[in-house]
Amino acid sequence: LAADNDIQLKSVTHRNRHGVDNPGFQVEVGCFGSHLLTVINLSSRFNWKSKLWLCFICECCSKVFKPITATENFLKAHSTILKYIALGILGTGYVAYFIAACWMNFQRAIALVVLTCLAVLSIMYDLVKKYKGESIKRFFKPALRMFKANISWIKWVFVLVVLGLLVAWVVVDTSKRQEQLVSFGGLCFFILVLFIFSVHRSAVCWRTLFWGLGLQFVIGLFVIRTEPGLIAFNWLGAQVKTFLNYTNAGSSFVFGSLVEAGIFAFKSLPIVVFFSSVMSVLYFLGVMQWVIVKISWIMQITMGTSPTESLSVAGNIFVGQTEAPLLIRPYLKDMTKSEIHAVIVGGFATIAGSVMGAFISFGIDETSLIAASVMAAPCALAIAKLSYPETEESKFKSDEGIKVEVSGEQNILEAASAGASASIGLVANITANLIAFLAILDFINAALRWLGGMVGYPDVTFEMRSEIISTYALCGFANFSSLGIVIGGLSSICPSRKSDISAVVLRALFTGTCVSLINACVAGILFAPPLDCIWVFENFIFNTSNAEIETCCEDLFKSVVNNRTKVSFEGSWSSVKNATIYFTQCCHLYNLHNETVCM
């Protein structure tokens, strides 16, 4: 190759003093450095001035693009160092922004703190796993080998200790509120019924059952009984509710003032579209796959279930009963009937994130919905394995796990659009089922009133019963209208297993219903109603031996606003008529007349 500005004449023959023999000859000019060689064919119609101008232009191009080429080569040669420098600058800028946000208003920056902590932990986990994973495995290998050698007696000691602590806790806790025993009895009843009607009772894996119920119990205990858990899920629920309110921007533009009227079709159903679009974007970015894989890994190592069924059930926390199996689409054809049953139960026992958003718009407590959806995942897998135990050899029992399919969209805009379009069928299905079932329910109520009126009971209806059943069924899709959705959805993903899907779907529906009811039982065991201090003050004698009096007095003291001229109260006590009388009695009880709070 010639130099960048050289001109080469090819096949030039001199015939006379006027020039070359060729009607056209080639001039090769390296105009764009070493990357692009431009070949200019100069025909006889160009005179010598034109040829000189072309050569001059190429010479200028060479000089102009030389620095650009050199810069490009430098960037390629030092790409790694420059990448780290850029990341360092961005990281420094973010740290400065983070500190400034926390310094100016920490309460406002809590969401930023949580997201930053989650991002840092995930990055640290990936880095440690990538660079130190094998070293950590080798370090713990002797301990793991010893643990496996003694697992036969360690697991029984662990089970006995946990059961002992659980029984002791139930006895102590229910001694104050005997109604919790009803929920505990319901839990035992459903497990017994499922065991009796199990496909293979002798093949039931009790490890899976106890670990699943244990994880559900621990999650419920953390959310319902501990202050950090309650605060965390209340905060999460508030963030979800705030996020879903952004739907109003789109729905107001489309439907106008109809959104403010609170009409279901214009207020709640657009939330399904918005949330579906957001979930599609998160899938495109790989966020949902990462979260779901980690949750399924926890269930897999504790409950001993296969990666495929664990992954699908974990996915049901966030997506619907037809979307979650897409995570394991390549593996459905090789899954056992028990694994397929578990996948379907997971869909019946949980609600999709988009539908959760619609429920929240109804005014249902968002904290309870989020907690119920998370609690239902391990319970669904455990109860599914009780109803249909594994008797075949799974092809996916390995330490390597499975690969999760990535999104097929090309960019974020396409992902958002695809998610919104995919929700059209779900919105139509919700609308059609609501119209049909509410109409049928009203007809049944009218028929019952007519029949009851014949014998003097015109108020007989299913309304109260329907309300109770709906309350328990909120955390699941276990209804007959979902049967067609599941069969059609899974069969389209894997047509070769349609007969197996149809064979287990009714059992899965029954099992999914039981999971929702068991979830409600666990919540009933753990839920402690707030203390009615007004009732306590009115019905108990003030003495220090009464724990409820002590608790209510402490709560009353915390609400006092004492300006040394008049005592007032804030919070719930501000509207209590006899709050001052109760306050005086509490001060007398604890001899606090000389304390600032009682002065």
Distance (Å, whole) CA 283 – CA 287: 6
The arithmetic mean of pLDDT across residues 542-556, rounded, is 77
The arithmetic mean of pLDDT across residues 534-543, rounded, is 76
- If we measure between CA atoms, which residue out of 369, 406, 371 comes closest to residue 280? 406
**Both structure tokens of 551:** 């608790």
Is the model's pLDDT at 495 over the cut of 70? yes
In a shared domain, residues 350 and 299: yes
Whether residue 156 is contained in a domain is answered as no
- If we measure between CA atoms, which residue out of 476, 277, 305, 492 comes closest to residue 401? 305
Q: Contacts for 430-436 with beta carbons within 8 Å, 24 or more apart?
A: 430/269, 430/272, 430/355, 430/358, 431/265, 431/269, 433/481, 434/264
pLDDT band per the 50, 70, 90 thresholds, residue 89: very high
Higher pLDDT, 530 or 379: 379
Residue for token digits 């990055």? Answer: 123
In a shared domain, residues 496 and 421: yes
Q: How many CB atoms lie within 10 A of CB 7?
A: 16
Is the model's pLDDT at 36 over the cut of 70? no
In a shared domain, residues 271 and 219: yes
The arithmetic mean of pLDDT across residues 489-495, rounded, is 77
Angle at 542 between CA 541 and CA 548, to 5 degrees: 90
Is the model's pLDDT at 410 over the cut of 50? yes
pLDDT, tens only, 449-474: 788 777 776 665 554 444 443 444 45
Q: What is the pLDDT of residue 459?
A: 60
Say if residues 380 and 316 touch (Cβ distance below 8 Å): yes
Q: Contacts for 460-465 with beta carbons within 8 Å, 24 or more apart?
A: none
In a shared domain, residues 218 and 275: yes
Q: What one-letter code names the amino acid at 518?
A: I
pLDDT band per the 50, 70, 90 thresholds, residue 32: very low
User: In a 3-state reduction of DSSP, which class is residue 13?
Assistant: coil
Q: What is the pLDDT of residue 248?
A: 84
Q: What is the pLDDT of residue 460?
A: 57
Whether residue 152 is contained in a domain is answered as no
Signed CA dihedral, 135, 136, 137, 138: sign only: positive
pLDDT band per the 50, 70, 90 thresholds, residue 383: very high
User: In a 3-state reduction of DSSP, which class is residue 496?
Assistant: helix
In a shared domain, residues 141 and 260: no
- If we measure between CA atoms, which residue out of 481, 216, 242, 523 comes closest to residue 360? 242
In a shared domain, residues 105 and 44: no
Q: What is the pLDDT of residue 405?
A: 63
Q: What is the pLDDT of residue 100?
A: 92
* Residue range of the domain that includes 36: 7-77
The arithmetic mean of pLDDT across residues 275-295, rounded, is 80
Whether residue 160 is contained in a domain is answered as no
Name which of 11-25, 55-69, 229-243, 337-351 the model is least confident about. 11-25
Distance (Å, whole) CA 351 – CA 475: 6
**Both structure tokens of 323:** 């979307």
> Any residues with CB less than 8 A from the CB of 133 and at least 6 apart, and which?
none
User: In a 3-state reduction of DSSP, which class is residue 227?
Assistant: helix
Q: What is the pLDDT of residue 285?
A: 83
Whether residue 306 is contained in a domain is answered as yes
Whether residue 159 is contained in a domain is answered as no
Higher pLDDT, 464 or 414: 414
In a shared domain, residues 249 and 358: yes
Q: How many CB atoms lie within 10 A of CB 42?
A: 16
pLDDT, tens only, 177-220: 666 777 788 888 999 999 999 988 888 888 888 888 888 888 88
> Any residues with CB less than 8 A from the CB of 261 and at least 6 apart, and which?
267
In a shared domain, residues 101 and 40: no
- If we measure between CA atoms, which residue out of 313, 364, 381, 349 comes closest to residue 477? 349
> What is the percent of the chain with per-residue pLDDT over 90, rounded to a whole number?
4
Angle at 524 between CA 522 and CA 527, to 5 degrees: 105
Mean pLDDT of the chain: 76
> What is the percent of the chain with per-residue pLDDT over 70, rounded to a whole number?
75
In a shared domain, residues 270 and 186: yes
Is the model's pLDDT at 380 over the cut of 50? yes
Is the model's pLDDT at 120 over the cut of 80? yes
In a shared domain, residues 93 and 200: no
The arithmetic mean of pLDDT across residues 360-379, rounded, is 75
Higher pLDDT, 22 or 158: 158
Is the model's pLDDT at 400 over the cut of 60? no
Total tally of structural domains belonging to the chain: 4
Q: What is the pLDDT of residue 50?
A: 66
Higher pLDDT, 67 or 499: 499
**Which of 146, 169, 193 delimits the end of a domain?**
146
Q: What one-letter code names the amino acid at 151?
A: I
Whether residue 168 is contained in a domain is answered as no
Distance (Å, whole) CA 238 – CA 587: 37
Higher pLDDT, 255 or 532: 255
Is the model's pLDDT at 288 over the cut of 80? no
Higher pLDDT, 103 or 362: 103
**Which of 58, 77, 96 delimits the end of a domain?**
77
The arithmetic mean of pLDDT across residues 104-132, rounded, is 85
Distance (Å, whole) CA 497 – CA 494: 6
Whether residue 170 is contained in a domain is answered as no
pLDDT band per the 50, 70, 90 thresholds, residue 485: confident
> Any residues with CB less than 8 A from the CB of 79 and at least 6 apart, and which?
none
Q: What is the pLDDT of residue 96?
A: 92
Q: How many CB atoms lie within 10 A of CB 294?
A: 12
Whether residue 318 is contained in a domain is answered as yes
In a shared domain, residues 543 and 491: no
Name which of 52-61, 74-83, 156-165, 242-251 the model is least confident about. 52-61
In a shared domain, residues 386 and 464: yes
**Which of 60, 77, 94 delimits the end of a domain?**
77
